[in-house]
Every structure is written in C-alpha cells, then in structure tokens.
Amino acid sequence: MKNNWIRFLAGALVSVMLVGAFALTGGMKGGKSTEGLLYQASGLHPDGEMLVVDGQIVTCEEYLYWVDYVCTYLASQLPDVDWNAAVSEGGITYGDYVKLEAVNAAKRFAVTRAWAEQEGIALTDGDMAALALQRQELVSLYGEEGYQQQLALMGISEETFDGMLAAQYLNSSLQTAYGPGGSRYDEDAVRAYAQEQGYASVYVLTLTGENAETMAADLLERWQKAEDKAAEYAAMCEELQQEAVGAVTLTAAEGDPLSDAIMALELEELTAVIDPYGDGSCYVILRTDLDLSVAADAYFQQVQSDRLANASVVSNAKLYSSLDVGAFYDRMTELRAEMQAAMAEAGGHTADDGHDHSADAGTDTAGEDTADTGADAEPAA
C-alpha cells in the first residue's frame, strides 16, 4: 500500500509542479488575527495573504484549511507518514507535496472567482437562497452553537466557508454561460473542439444470441427504408424489449473496432457492425446530428483546465516557507482532539476529524487525480 502511494505521489508531483508553478514574493500582508485552531497550530495569522491568484487573494486561513484537508486524507492512507521523508529523487518531501497540493486546491477556487468576475457573473437570487437553505439545514442538524463549533473544528470562519461554497455556484453559472444558449456560448468553437476530440452522436441497437447477425442485417434494411429514423428506432427497441435511450454521444476510442466503425460513418448513414469484440454481439448504428450540449460541457472543462494551468499564482515567500507541515498537522490534530473532548463533555456535537465529508461529492483529493486540474476539491462542511 505504502509503495503504491509513493509511486503515485512521485508521478503526480511532476504534474503538480507543472500546473502549480508559482512565484514567491515579499510585500504581502502578514495579517493580525489570532483567531482559530489554524492560527494556534501554525502561528500564521488567518487574515494574512498567502497567495494572489489572478488578482484574487487567498488568505492563510483558506490555504491552511486545504493543507489540513490534504494532510487528513494523506494520513488516512499512510497512517505512519513522515512528512519530512523524501517522496521523489529531487528531494521533495510529503510535506512539500501537501503544500503544493494545497496551493492547487486554493487556486481552483480563486480562479473561479476571478473568472466569474471577469465575465460579470455574480451569485443569483436563487444561489443566495440555496446557500441560505444549506446553512439552515446545518443549523437544524447541529443547532446554531453546534454549527459554529463545526466551523471551529475546521479552523475556519463562516465567511471563508461561505466563500468556498459560493465559488461552486459561480462555477455552475460559468458552465451555464458556456453552454448552448449561454452568454459565452461559441458554437463554432464547440463544434471544432468536438471534431478534434472525435465526438459523434449515434442511435445504437445491440443484438445478442445465435441469430444476432441475421437480425442485424434485417433491422439494418428495415431502418434504411424508414422515413422517420427516430420513430423506427423507438419501435424496434420496443420489439426487442430494449430501452429506447435515444441518441448517445461518444468520443473516438483509438483501436476500438466499434468506435472505428462509428467514426467512419457519414451523417445519417447506417451500418451493421458484426461481432466486433468476438463475443457474438452485433450492433446496428445510425449516425445523427451531433448533440453539441455534451461537447459543450467537455469544452467548458477544457477551457477551465487551460485557465487553471495558465493562472498567475504568487505566494508570500515568508509565510509559505515558514510553514512546517508536520508540526502544523500534529498540533492541529492535538488541538482538534482537545476541542472535541471539551465539546463532548459539554454535550455538543463532534466530528471525527473536523471534516464532514458529506459535502465532498465529486471531490478529487490528494489520493485522486488532482494533478490534472489542480485539485478538484470542494469544502467540507
């Protein structure tokens, strides 16, 4: 298990360094606040300026939240991790990895804020209502005092937590803006991207059994003669007792015989693909107009990845270099345990590690594919 993780981290560090390269500088504010567990564990003032990403300030509080988050995950995978041990031939340690990964996580949220600001996108009334509802649900679960205690266990203020939640709504609005009908939708760019990536929309009938090849030939002929191809597809699905899912949008898969057959089709052309995988299954396929909405989602992800890779990231050299990850996490763990014990004694709600991962759906953490986009993580409530 440990050897697998070492190999993973050694490989991931190359990508992290590429997408997470940043400049170190002085002249950024060190801050004055002494509130919270993160300050007690690190000595870094929560209101200090750790990063500036595309003009957006990332405070020490937000950055340290991600350091703690990545440490918690990594420690769950490597319980005996030595934060000062080298994980690569270049001498990069587990602690260095955590600091870089935290930069990438914070960067993603900051880039979203900067991007939304550039596009003139702000939280809608619906977004604000949804955020208020989320808060109310948490208060209903924990009580107001308990909710504040959960934030205290994470070491962050409600303002910082709300800011990370708000960034998710801004990201959703950006995706809508880049989709069909959106203010930033560029059909030509999406179509060009789809062509480059080998997208195709097709209707597919799947046939199995001893008579699959004969049935494929018969259905192909029948489908070719039909004037309303979509209606005929639905009728054949009903006869075959297959779900009529409609046209599906796929991307080309190099070396896949079924994919090769699909990509060879012209628009509105039909074909039967006989036993492409040697398991007796046959397919009757109709290529139809490309569903650009699917390609638009992928195009947005590509634009987002490009913005992340090209983001300007400047770090407070003094604060960044002063952080000892191992000492910070050990102290944070102790402080959190003490707070949990005090809460339990007082009859309050507690959490195992201060991170309720119920809000982490879709999160790429340190143990997953974060290197591609710079830690696709969401805040834990």
* Tens of pLDDT, residues 331-348: 999 999 999 999 888 875
Residue 241 has phi, psi (to 5 degrees) of: 60, 40
**Residues 6 or more apart from 254 whose CB is under 8 A from it?**
none
Is residue 368 assigned to a domain? Answer: no
**Separation between Cα atoms, residue 284 and residue 219, nearest integer Å:** 7
Both 139 and 25 in one domain: the answer is yes
Both 328 and 274 in one domain: the answer is no
Number of other CB atoms surrounding residue 287 within 10 Å = 21
**pTM across the whole model:** 0.79
Both 135 and 264 in one domain: the answer is no
**Separation between Cα atoms, residue 363 and residue 80, nearest integer Å:** 24
Is residue 360 assigned to a domain? Answer: no
- What tokens were used for 270? 């039909």
Is residue 55 assigned to a domain? Answer: yes
Domain that holds residue 99: 2-181+301-351
Is residue 26 assigned to a domain? Answer: yes
Both 113 and 71 in one domain: the answer is yes
Is residue 374 assigned to a domain? Answer: no
Both 163 and 307 in one domain: the answer is yes
Tokens 């139809």: give the residue.
288
Which CATH number goes with the domain that contains 225? 3.10.50.40
Both 159 and 268 in one domain: the answer is no
Is residue 363 assigned to a domain? Answer: no
pLDDT at position 22 is: 52
pLDDT at position 374 is: 35
Crossing angle of helices 60-77/158-177, nearest 10°?
90
Residue 288 has phi, psi (to 5 degrees) of: -125, 180
pLDDT at position 348 is: 59
Both 110 and 18 in one domain: the answer is yes
Both 142 and 238 in one domain: the answer is no
pLDDT tens-digit series, residues 225-257: 999 999 999 999 999 999 999 999 999 999 999
CB 342 within 8 A of CB 52: no
pLDDT at position 24 is: 57
**Separation between Cα atoms, residue 109 and residue 98, nearest integer Å:** 17
Both 85 and 222 in one domain: the answer is no
Q: Residue 94 to residues 21, 60, 90, 229: CA-CA distances in angstroms?
A: 17, 20, 12, 58
Is residue 210 assigned to a domain? Answer: yes
Q: Residue 309 to residues 14, 16, 22, 37, 253: CA-CA distances in angstroms?
A: 13, 10, 11, 32, 26
Both 254 and 306 in one domain: the answer is no
Both 247 and 143 in one domain: the answer is no
Is residue 358 assigned to a domain? Answer: no
Both 174 and 209 in one domain: the answer is no
Q: Residue 359 to residues 83, 92, 212, 363, 378: CA-CA distances in angstroms?
A: 27, 31, 46, 9, 7
pLDDT at position 370 is: 38
Number of domains within the chain: 2
Alpha carbon dihedral 333, 339, 340, 346, in 10-degree steps, equals 170
**Separation between Cα atoms, residue 375 and residue 109, nearest integer Å:** 10
Please list the ranges in the chain whose pLDDT falls under 70.
1-26, 348-381
**Separation between Cα atoms, residue 243 and residue 360, nearest integer Å:** 33
DSSP 202: E
